[in-house]
Chains A and B, each alone.
Chain A
Amino acid sequence: MRRRRVTILAWMVLLAATGWIVAHAHYTADLSAFLPARPSPAQQALVDELREGVAARLILIAINGGERAQRAQLSQALATGLRADPAFVSVNNGRNAASESDQRYIFDHRYLLSEQITADHFTTAGLRSAVSESIDSLASPAGFLAQDLLLTDPTGETLQVMGQLSPDTGPRSQDGVWVSADGSQALLVARTRVAGGDTNGQERALGVIEAEFGRLRAAAMPAARAVSLRVSGPGVFAIHARATIIREAIRLSVLSSLLIATLLLLAYRSLRTLALGLLPVVSGALAGAAAVALGFGVIHGVTLGFGVTLIGESVDYSIYLLIQARRGPDGNAAATWITSFWPTVRLGLFTSLCGFASLLPSAFPGLAQLGLYSMAGLLAAAAVTRYVLPALLPERWTARPLNALGRGLARGIDRLQRYRQLLWLLPLLAIAEVQTHRSGLWNRDLAALSPVSAADQAFDAQLRSSLGAPDVSDLIVITAADTESALSAAEAVGKRLNSLVKSGELAGFDTPARYLPSLALQRQRLDALPAGDVLRTRLRAALAGLPLRATRLEPFVAAVERARTALLVDRSGLAGTSLASGVDTLLAQRGNRVVALLPLRAPAAGSHPFAIDAAHVNAALGAAPPGVTIALLDLKHESDALYAAYQSAAIRLSLLGFGLIVLLLLLTLRSVARVMRVIAPLILSVLVVTAALAASRQALTILHLIGLLLIVAVGSNYALFFERHFAPAAAGERSTMLASLLIANLATVLGFGVLAFSTVPVLSALGMTVAPGAFAALLFSALMARPQASHGVLS
């Protein structure tokens, strides 16, 4: 009696402690679960880009329906409203080609910014060529050049800088705003202040957009009835994905819990027993989460999502106890169960632990957390079943018999076992099936895990192509100790890239140095400017024969004089202009390094349209100066490579786990034949499920693999029960065991079967693997077990 109380007290203390840890743990839903704990520089750049990069901060907005003019008007009003909100760095919808402040800044700093400023540009010949071009511009069809500008800037630096800064391609515009290619949508691009990886921040920004649009639409009612808003972008996807996963996880786990509870109620025919049976499940879930919190400091959303599915296995332990335990000679049902069945359950537990332990050394936190969670969860569930439940059960309690069910099962198995020679065909068929689909067996695309629907992805692609929005896939990443050396390196790389643009190898590129030249280059440009008297002399010679007299250009001479003594500009000088956001997008302090990004644009035509020849670009990059790294990053390639590494690590570790399981069984069962009888049904189940998935054209992802591991973990219990208790047991004990296995199996199949209908690929992959796999494991274990002795003789 005293020992009981101590056990219950200890359990409650542990439960409270784990509850406290879980309540105070840190949770994260970012991508780091899928990224290696010690990333290479390229992987780090990938992570940074996905989380904080240019493309990740964009929210693409489309206004649909209604009248064309109405959409244009709403677009203008929405852009104005959003620009006033601090959540956005910039909002573009077409009309802000170059704002007043940009024009002023560009004009004032033209001699620092213009790429054509070199000493050559200000020789007599250089001046003559530049000024005569400007004179011709005066007569240009669009009246590009105002007369005043000819006199203050006859070498055309202002137009040059505007040309440098304007994007090469822009969306179509109509009524003064950007529209989709078919003109049916007005388009805007908002750039958020928070990083793309900050899903909460993105959600707030999205809320601002929706509220502002709702307000404008309401004000324009009833005319605006047909107008609607649609948004897209990485942040929007993340918000939707998170919402979908949470919604589905809750909906499906509630549904599966209800189904399992109903099943158990039918089996136990007692509410109290049902409640007791769920205690190990709750304890296990808490213990798993607490272990991860203690071991990793932070719990990934993915781990918790998976934890829900572990209910299917942890509930099995209590099912075994609560169905199998009968009052024996010494009176206590639980004590009898512990003597006869617990060793089998314990061995099953250790087998599962071996399987999941293999995930622990994974370099990917997501996998390692899954491993730890499962081990702690299963251990706790089993321990609570073994030590706490017997203490909580009433003294004279005994399981309600399911004899009819058990006897029926025994007869069925007996009949089926006559055909068990046919089982030999199954592995052959399965292997043949897997072989025919071998090339497409594994999904190599990270997008396979994406919960974003194909329709949403297509909409995003359509918006992007209409907008020419950066869908950055290739970029050059420069890291340096400070801003100045990062910008200098970007300038050197820019020069090399220019030659690739000339040869058609690249369509273009962007660089932070375009908005903010390095101080060294600014100094160099100012040094190229001649003194007033020299300039006057050269102008006289340069303009000989041209229709413009040198004496007219005094405002130009004065402007150059002023520029020669002007201060250089740094980031703070750009405040209030759109150049500032250009710099901030492409130049960032990360840790103690400064990172400059140069996004590349692939040519639309040529020998390899829409693709960038990485080898060519790398060859052109040349050597980096000391203290600086320069690397070409192909985001798509890099992320797929990362995923492939993740996947092959998981496969390798799973095989290792399987090896551990075999070793453990060999050590305990001490007979190769017995070990074979345990693992053969498991291998067969895994093979059959893999073949079925392959046959239904399901390319396998990492989640299917985890599912296969779960089949082994769950199925090993069945196989062990059959191996140790089927043939030798008395008929009564056998039928109880069969009934409990069927109930446990149904619970697992229900729990995971519900998941198979999820729209989230991560969840449905688990469900469609484990549900049929668990059933197959039970069936094959039954068929492969040593036949029961003829009925009644031994009992």
Chain B
Amino acid sequence: MSRHFPLLCRARRGRTLMLLSCAWLVGSAAVAAAASDALEQLMTQLRQRQHGHVSFTEVHISSVLDRPLTSTGELFYDAPDRLEKRTTTPRAERMVLENGQLSFERRHKEYHVALADFPQAAPYIEAIRATLAGDRAALERVFHIGFDYSGDKWTLRLTPLDAHVAAEVATVSIDGQSDSIKTVTVKLVNGDRSITTLGAVLDP
């Protein structure tokens, strides 16, 4: 008997454990509530920002490559629906997400697609836009959200919901402090990673 139900047999310890687990349950619910509140607060805080213009450095680590690839450029944001990622090195490239429409240029040809038709771009660009916009609903449309915080530093852990995207992208982690994003890390299922660090604020 005791071998099968050790907790029940040891009644005393059992009670202690029960109390403890109660406390844990209540506590974690409280923590969860607090986290949810905090996420809500963060979202509200993020929504205050109308414009952003920062430099970025992206490091791409791939198992097929001998060394990381580094690209640099600038990010432009206009609340709530426009994000532009302008890469300057190693190759000039521009991508704009505006009102759910994605435009980019490749080999002198412009492409316009709806984000809905091109879900693989969501981890790379919609995650940043929706976070900056404090648009929790938009994030929840494409990701499962995990949230940690300590003081004014926070981390959003986003897991893609779309099966095709989830087959390639494992998580997107966004680290930030108060109302700004510091880094965005995209981890692929095959172990590849890209880490984007947002840098100096350029002209407001």
A94/B117 in contact, CB under 8 A? yes
For residue B74, give the distance in angstroms from its CB to the closest CB of chain A: 12
CA of A97 to CA of B116, assembled, Å = 12
A80 within 8 A of B: no
B121/A142 in contact, CB under 8 A? yes
B117/A172 in contact, CB under 8 A? no
Q: Which of A136, A151, A176 contacts B114 (CB 8 A)?
A: A176
For B65, B69, B113, B123, the residue with the greatest tally of chain A CB atoms inside 10 Å of its CB is B65
User: Which of B16-24, B28-36, B103-111, B138-146 forms contacts with chain A?
Assistant: B103-111
A135/B100 in contact, CB under 8 A? no
Q: Which residues of A contact B69 (CB under 8 A)?
A: 135-136, 138-139, 547
B93/A147 in contact, CB under 8 A? no
B67/A139 in contact, CB under 8 A? no
A170/B112 in contact, CB under 8 A? yes
Asked whether A174 and B65 contact (CB < 8 A) given A141-B93, A142-B102, the answer is no
A142/B95 in contact, CB under 8 A? yes
Q: Which residues of A contact B95 (CB under 8 A)?
A: 141-142
CA of A547 to CA of B65, assembled, Å = 5
User: 1/0 contact trace for A147-166 toward B, CB 8 Å?
Assistant: 10011000000011001001
Asked whether A143 and B114 contact (CB < 8 A) given A136-B90, A138-B62, the answer is no
Using CB atoms, name the residue of chain A closest to B58.
A139
CA of A210 to CA of B118, assembled, Å = 31
Q: Which residues of B contact A140 (CB under 8 A)?
A: 87, 93
A139/B113 in contact, CB under 8 A? no
| Chain A residues touching B, range | 20 to 34
A27 within 8 A of B: no
A95 within 8 A of B: yes
CA of A136 to CA of B120, assembled, Å = 17
Q: Which residues of B contact A133 (CB under 8 A)?
A: 91
B101 within 8 A of A: yes
Q: Which residues of B contact A139 (CB under 8 A)?
A: 58, 60, 69, 71, 194
A97/B117 in contact, CB under 8 A? yes
For residue A150, give the distance in angstroms from its CB to the closest CB of chain B: 6
CA of A151 to CA of B95, assembled, Å = 25
For residue B82, give the distance in angstroms from its CB to the closest CB of chain A: 15
A142/B125 in contact, CB under 8 A? yes
A549 within 8 A of B: yes
Q: Which of B42-77 contact A (CB under 8 A)?
A: 58, 60, 62-69, 71
CA of A169 to CA of B114, assembled, Å = 13
For residue B39, give the distance in angstroms from its CB to the closest CB of chain A: 26
B124 within 8 A of A: yes
A548/B111 in contact, CB under 8 A? no
Q: Which residues of B contact A456 (CB under 8 A)?
A: none
B192/A147 in contact, CB under 8 A? yes
B178 within 8 A of A: no
For residue A121, give the distance in angstroms from its CB to the closest CB of chain B: 14
B135 within 8 A of A: no
B121/A135 in contact, CB under 8 A? no
A488 within 8 A of B: no
Q: Which residues of B contact A548 (CB under 8 A)?
A: 64-66
Q: Which of A147, A166, A173 contacts B111 (CB 8 A)?
A: A166
For residue A593, give the distance in angstroms from its CB to the closest CB of chain B: 34
Q: Which residues of B contact A141 (CB under 8 A)?
A: 85, 87, 93, 95, 104, 121, 124-125
Q: Which residues of B contact A95 (CB under 8 A)?
A: 117
Count of interface residues, chain B, beta-carbon cutoff 8 Å: 41
CA of A78 to CA of B114, assembled, Å = 20
A330 within 8 A of B: no
CA of A547 to CA of B59, assembled, Å = 13
Q: Which of A135, A159, A176 contacts B65 (CB 8 A)?
A: A135
Q: Which residues of A contact B110 (CB under 8 A)?
A: 168
For residue B128, give the distance in angstroms from its CB to the closest CB of chain A: 10
Tell me what chain A mostly uses at the interface: helix, strand, loop, or mixed. Answer: loop
Using CB atoms, name the residue of chain A closest to B91.
A136
Q: Which of A136, A151, A175 contacts B64 (CB 8 A)?
A: A151
B67/A547 in contact, CB under 8 A? yes
For residue B62, give the distance in angstroms from its CB to the closest CB of chain A: 6
A251 within 8 A of B: no
CA of A174 to CA of B114, assembled, Å = 7
A552 within 8 A of B: yes
Q: Which of A111-146 contact B (CB under 8 A)?
A: 133, 135-136, 138-144, 146
Q: Which residues of B contact A174 (CB under 8 A)?
A: 100, 114
Using CB atoms, name the residue of chain A closest to B65.
A547
B41 within 8 A of A: no
Using CB atoms, name the residue of chain A closest to B66.
A547
CA of A176 to CA of B117, assembled, Å = 6
B168 within 8 A of A: yes
Q: Which residues of A contact B65 (CB under 8 A)?
A: 135, 138, 547-548
Q: Which residues of B contact A136 (CB under 8 A)?
A: 69, 71, 90-91
Using CB atoms, name the residue of chain B closest to A142.
B121
CA of A173 to CA of B117, assembled, Å = 9
B88 within 8 A of A: no
For A133, A135, A169, A552, the residue with the greatest tally of chain B CB atoms inside 10 Å of its CB is A135
Q: Which residues of B contact A170 (CB under 8 A)?
A: 112
CA of A406 to CA of B131, assembled, Å = 95
CA of A411 to CA of B120, assembled, Å = 93
Asked whether A163 and B106 contact (CB < 8 A) given A94-B114, A136-B90, the answer is yes
CA of A59 to CA of B9, assembled, Å = 78
Asked whether A150 and B64 contact (CB < 8 A) given A136-B69, A139-B71, the answer is yes
For residue A74, give the distance in angstroms from its CB to the closest CB of chain B: 16
Using CB atoms, name the residue of chain B closest to A171.
B112
CA of A503 to CA of B92, assembled, Å = 22
Q: Which residues of A contact B120 (CB under 8 A)?
A: 142-143
In the A-B complex, the 9 residue pairs with the smallest Cβ-Cβ separation, listed nearest first, are A139-B60, A173-B114, A547-B65, A142-B121, A176-B116, A547-B66, A139-B69, A141-B95, A547-B67
In the complex, besides A141-B124, A547-B66, 20 extra interface pairs with C-beta distance below 8 angstroms are A95-B117, A97-B117, A136-B90, A139-B194, A140-B87, A140-B93, A141-B121, A142-B104, A142-B125, A143-B124, A146-B168, A163-B106, A169-B112, A170-B112, A172-B101, A173-B117, A176-B114, A176-B116, A176-B117, A548-B65
Q: Which positions in B face A, CB cutoff 8 Å?
A: 58, 60, 62-69, 71, 85, 87, 90-91, 93, 95, 100-102, 104, 106-107, 109-114, 116-118, 120-121, 123-125, 168, 190, 192, 194
14 A-B residue pairs with Cβ-Cβ distance under 8 Å, sorted by A, are A97-B113, A136-B90, A140-B93, A141-B87, A141-B93, A142-B118, A147-B190, A147-B192, A163-B106, A163-B109, A169-B112, A176-B116, A547-B67, A548-B66
